[in-house]
């Protein structure tokens, strides 16, 4: 029994709220700012008498951008008519920010490629075609072999990184 009365009250509140909303919509968006004797400002949807000033709340109009580019007329393709300059199809829908981001990404990739190539050059100089110089701390021959294996591994990884960077740069340049 209690649940039904709570449900009735909440449904009555919802109906009452909808009625008030429809009344406000019918009346318009008339709003007032009222300043009381103590200097406190209040905002109301009805004129409270002296000290209240009507606010001019113009409705905001939102116009969405067109979804697609208008098709070209057949007269634009006719000889002797002036054709509008249009970007190639691959640029349609891209903004200047897209191009700036692409340029920034290309610069970063080019810098990474330069660093990897420099690293590869120094690794190859140290590797000396599989015959690197022995260092003073490599009296044990196994330490020397471990360093040679590490150099080979680093050269392979660096070559792979360079190939990946070149592939990505090629993909971005299209």
Higher pLDDT, 108 or 4: 108
pLDDT level of residue 165 (50, 70, 90 thresholds) = very high
pLDDT at 171 exceeding the cut of 80? yes
Q: Is residue 157 part of a domain?
A: yes
User: pLDDT digit string (tens) for 66-100?
Assistant: 776 655 555 545 555 555 455 554 555 667 777 77
Q: Is residue 66 part of a domain?
A: no
Long-range interactions of 18-21: CB distance < 8 A, separation 24+:
none
Do 108 and 161 fall within a single domain?
yes
Do 45 and 95 fall within a single domain?
no
Do 96 and 143 fall within a single domain?
yes
Count of domains for the chain: 2
pLDDT level of residue 38 (50, 70, 90 thresholds) = confident
Do 100 and 168 fall within a single domain?
yes
Whole domain around residue 25: which residue ranges?
A: 2-55
- Supply φ then ψ for residue 48, to 5 degrees: -95, 10
- Give the residue from 37, 55, 73 where a domain finishes: 55
Q: Is residue 42 part of a domain?
A: yes
Spatial distance between the Cα atoms of 26 and 113, rounded to a whole number of angstroms: 66
DSSP category for residue 77: G
pTM of the model: 0.44
Average per-residue pLDDT in the chain?
A: 75
Q: Is residue 129 part of a domain?
A: yes
Q: Is residue 37 part of a domain?
A: yes
Q: Is residue 23 part of a domain?
A: yes
Do 47 and 95 fall within a single domain?
no
User: pLDDT digit string (tens) for 2-36?
Assistant: 555 545 555 544 445 544 544 444 445 577 788 88
Q: Is residue 61 part of a domain?
A: no
- Residue 106, judged by CB atoms within 10 A of its CB (0-12, 13-18, 19+), counts as middle
**CB contact set of 29 (below 8 Å; sequence gap of 6+):** 57, 59
Q: Is residue 50 part of a domain?
A: yes
Structure tokens at 93: 């829908």
Do 166 and 102 fall within a single domain?
yes
- What is residue 44's three-state secondary structure? strand
Helix crossing, 141-172 with 96-127: angle to 10°? Answer: 160
Do 107 and 39 fall within a single domain?
no
Per-residue model confidence (pLDDT) at position 22: 46
Do 51 and 93 fall within a single domain?
no
Do 8 and 50 fall within a single domain?
yes
Percent of the chain with pLDDT over 90: 29
């Amino acid at each position: 029994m209690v649940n039904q009365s709570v449900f009735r009250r909440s449904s009555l509140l919802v109906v009452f709220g909808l009625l008030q909303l429809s009344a406000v919509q019918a009346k318009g968006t008339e709003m007032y700012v009222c300043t009381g004797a103590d200097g406190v400002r209040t905002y109301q949807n009805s004129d409270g008498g002296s000290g209240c000033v009507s606010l001019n709340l113009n409705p905001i109009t939102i116009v969405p951008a067109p979804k697609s580019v208008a098709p070209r007329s057949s007269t634009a393709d006719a000889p002797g008519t002036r054709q509008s300059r249009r970007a190639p199809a691959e640029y349609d829908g891209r903004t200047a920010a897209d191009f700036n981001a692409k340029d920034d990404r290309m610069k970063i990739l080019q810098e990474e490629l330069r660093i990897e190539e420099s690293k590869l050059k120094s690794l190859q100089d140290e590797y000396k075609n599989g015959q690197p110089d022995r260092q003073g701390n490599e009296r044990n021959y196994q330490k020397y072999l471990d360093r040679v294996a590490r150099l080979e591994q680093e050269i392979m990884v660096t070559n792979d990184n360079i190939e990946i960077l070149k592939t990505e740069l090629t993909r971005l340049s299209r």
